[in-house]
């Protein structure tokens, strides 16, 4: 859904700030200030420290970004086997 002028990057949430703002570390150790896009707010997608996210950045201001997607973990969740009750 990018307009062609934005830069799409992936990063890791470093800290959660008030007002749905986040500090996100991108490749090379650079840290940016990011906020959640409207679709994530509308669908109540929760984002916590340590999550990997995709963001859109304007080429004019490389210190701010908009979080557009939360990347799921690659490893499956291991659950204990359920006991059958007869």
Q: Taking all residues of the chain, what is their mean pLDDT, rounded to a whole number?
A: 89
Residue 41 lies in a domain: yes
CATH of the domain at 14: 2.40.50.140
Question: Could you tell me what percent of the chain has a pLDDT over 90?
Answer: 71
Q: Is the pLDDT of residue 21 over 80?
A: yes
List, in sequence order, every residue forming a beta bridge with 28; answer none if it has no partner.
Answer: none
Predicted TM-score (pTM) above 0.95: no
pLDDT of residue 84: 78
The residue segments making up the domain with residue 66 are 7-71
Alpha-carbon gap, residue 86 to 74, rounded angstroms: 36
- pLDDT in the model for residue 2: 57
- Does 48 reside within a domain? yes
The tally of domains found in the chain comes to: 1
Is 39 part of a structural domain of the chain? yes
Residues in the chain, total: 86
Phi, psi dihedrals of residue 83, rounded to the nearest 5°: -85, 140
Residue with tokens 């080429």: 59
Does residue 81 sit within a domain? no
């Amino acid at each position: 859904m990018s307009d062609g002028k934005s830069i799409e990057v992936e990063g890791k949430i470093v800290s959660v700030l008030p007002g749905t703002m986040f500090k996100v570390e991108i490749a090379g150790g650079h840290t940016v200030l990011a906020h959640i896009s409207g679709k994530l707010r509308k669908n109540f997608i929760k984002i916590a420290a340590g999550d990997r996210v995709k963001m859109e950045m304007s080429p004019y201001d490389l210190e701010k970004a908009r979080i557009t997607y939360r990347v799921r973990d690659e490893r499956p969740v291991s659950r204990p086997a359920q006991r059958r009750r007869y």
